[in-house]
Amino acid sequence: MESTAAASEIKDISLAPSGQAKIDWVRGHMPVLAAIREDFRREQPFAGKKVAVCLHLEAKTAWFIQVLAEGGALTSACASNPLSTQDDVAAALARSGVEVHARHGAAPAEYERHLEGALGIKPDYIIDDGGDLVHLLHTGRRDLLAGVKGGAEETTTGILRLRRMAAEKALCFPMIAVNDARSKYLFDNRYGTGQSVWDGVMRATNLVVAGKTVCVVGYGWCGKGVALRGKGLGARVVVCEIDPVKANEAWMDGFEVMPMRRAATLADIFITVTGNKNVVASEHFPLMKDGALLANAGHFDVEVDKTALAAMAAGRRPLKPGIEEFTLADGRRLFLLAEGRLVNLAAGDGHPAEVMDMSFALQALTLQYLVDNAAKLGGEVYPVPKDLDDRVSAMRLQALGLEIDALTPEQVAYLASWNV
Ligand code: ADE
Q: What is the mean pLDDT of residues 125-137?
A: 98
What are 258-288's pLDDT values in tens digits?
Answer: 999 999 999 999 999 999 999 999 999 999 9
Confidence of residue 335 (pLDDT cuts 50, 70, 90): very high
Mean pLDDT score of the chain: 97
pLDDT of residue 5: 61
Could you state, in order of their start, the residue ranges of all structural domains in the chain? 2-184+351-400, 193-346
What are 182-237's pLDDT values in tens digits?
Answer: 999 999 999 999 999 999 999 999 999 999 999 999 999 999 999 999 999 999 99
Give yes or no on whether 2-184+351-400 and 193-346 have one common fold. Answer: yes
Specify the ligand 1 atom closest to the Cα of 155.
6
Count the Cβ atoms, other than its own, within 10 Å of residue 120. Answer: 16
Pocket of ligand 1, candidates 85, 132, 154: which has the most ligand atoms within 8 Å of its Cβ, to mutate? 154
What's the CA-to-centroid distance between 224 and ligand 1, angstroms?
17
> What is the C-alpha end-to-end distance of the chain, expressed in Å?
63
- pLDDT > 90: what percent of the chain? 98
pLDDT of residue 420: 75
What are 155-168's pLDDT values in tens digits?
Answer: 999 999 999 999 99
CATH architecture of 2-184+351-400: 3-Layer(aba) Sandwich (3.40)
Q: Is 200 in the pocket of ligand 1 (CB under 6 A)?
A: no
pLDDT of residue 2: 41
Its pTM stands at 0.96
- Name beta bridge partners: 50: 74
Q: How far apart are CA 31 and CA 357, in angstroms?
A: 7
On whether the CB atoms of residues 256 and 237 are closer than 8 A, the answer is: yes
CATH architecture of 193-346: 3-Layer(aba) Sandwich (3.40)
What's the CA-to-centroid distance between 349 and ligand 1, angstroms?
8
| Residue 132 exposed, middle or buried by CB count within 10 Å (0-12, 13-18, 19+) | buried
